[in-house]
Structure 1
Amino acid sequence: MNQVAHEINERRDSPLSNEQHWENLTADQKVALYDLNRFGYRLRFVRQTLKGPLAIVSQQDDIAVIHPDGEVDLRPKITLRPH
Structure 2
Amino acid sequence: MNQVAYAIGERRGELLDQEQHWERMTADQKMALYDLNRFGYRLLFVRMMPEGPLAVVSQQSELAVIDFEGEVNLRPDIKLREESQ
Q: Mark yes or no: TM-score above 0.5.
A: yes
Structure 1 consecutive aligned stretches of length 4 or more whose deviation exceeds 6 Å: none
Compute the TM-score of the two structures, normalised by the length of structure 2: 0.83
Name whichever structure is richer in strand by fraction. 2
CA offset at residue 82 of structure 1? 1.4
Name whichever structure is richer in helix by fraction. 1
* One-letter amino acid of the counterpart of residue 13, structure 2: E
CA offset at residue 10 of structure 1? 2.2
Matches within 5 A, 1:11-50: 11=14, 15-50=15-50
Compute the TM-score of the two structures, normalised by the length of structure 1: 0.85
Higher relative contact order (CA 8 A, sep 6+): 2
% of aligned pairs identical?
Answer: 64
Of 3, 9, 13, 1:10 maps to 13
CA offset at residue 8 of structure 1? 2.7
- Unaligned runs of at least 5 residues, structure 1: 1-6
Q: Secondary structure at the match of 2:77?
A: coil
* One-letter amino acid of the counterpart of residue 75, structure 1: R
Q: Secondary structure at the match of 1:22?
A: helix
